[in-house]
Amino acid sequence: MDKALTKNNGETLSRSALRRQREREERYQTILKAAETLFVKEGYHQTSINKIADLAEVSVGTVYFYFKNKEDLLIQLLDEISYLFRSRIGAEFRNADSTLEGFTNAGNMFFDEFCNKYPEKVAIMYRESVGQSPLVEEHRKKLHDKSIKDISEALQRMSENMGFQFPSSMSIEIIAVSIMGIYQSIASHFLVSREKPENLKQIGDDAVNYLVGGIKDMCGLN
């Protein structure tokens, strides 16, 4: 007889139930990883559920048990990538020490940490999820809006801490939107449209220095 284990909500699960729960999660992640690999390698539109099932070593029916369709797979991938992005990049901006140096470190995190370690996820964010259905675009917009908020709040804290003012009430939002746009453009150009360059760190440093230089110039900090 399985020994019952108590969950946080007071319910109990047997060891076999816990094992099945763990196996379901592992199968879910295996299918998701297979989809990510194929979307990046072959493209979203060229990838079929049959190919995903084959790479994940499960039946097509199993894929449909976990996901409604291919669009659902892309959305789940995008949501996981969005969470990872904000837990790394967003957190770095939120924890920036309210100085230009802290802001620079937060910016470098995007290239040194995210782009370098997760090029496949960058491809999903900036290539395979672009121009898809309204539902996919809605999930992309959520990440974009939350990232703009993280950067805007970091800029506001920096302004208050360093005792300077931005030229207008729109300056912070304009800078935040520009930063996200430049990050996307550089990632798309150097990581998505061609093989990852060896000098990614230098590319990141140049991009961040350009952005910080623009902030200094706008606010008369040079």
Which CATH number characterizes residue 168's domain? Answer: 1.10.357.10
> In terms of domains, do 61 and 84 share one?
no
24-53 confidence digits (pLDDT tens): 899 999 999 999 999 999 999 999 999 999
- HSE toward the beta carbon, residue 84, CA cutoff 13 A: 18
Give the total number of structural domains in the chain. Answer: 2
Q: Are residues 219 and 180 in the same domain?
A: yes
Question: Is residue 25 located within the same domain as residue 102?
Answer: no
Residues 121 and 45 placed together within one structural domain of the fold? no
% of the chain residues with pLDDT over 90: 46
Domain boundary among 67, 82, 115: 67
Are 158 and 93 found together in one domain?
yes
| Full-model pTM | 0.82
Say yes or no: 31 and 83 in one domain. no
Domain interval for residue 220: 70-222
- What are the tens digits of pLDDT across the range 85-125? 888 887 888 777 778 888 888 888 888 888 888 989 999 99
Place 142 in a pLDDT band, splitting at 50, 70 and 90.
very high
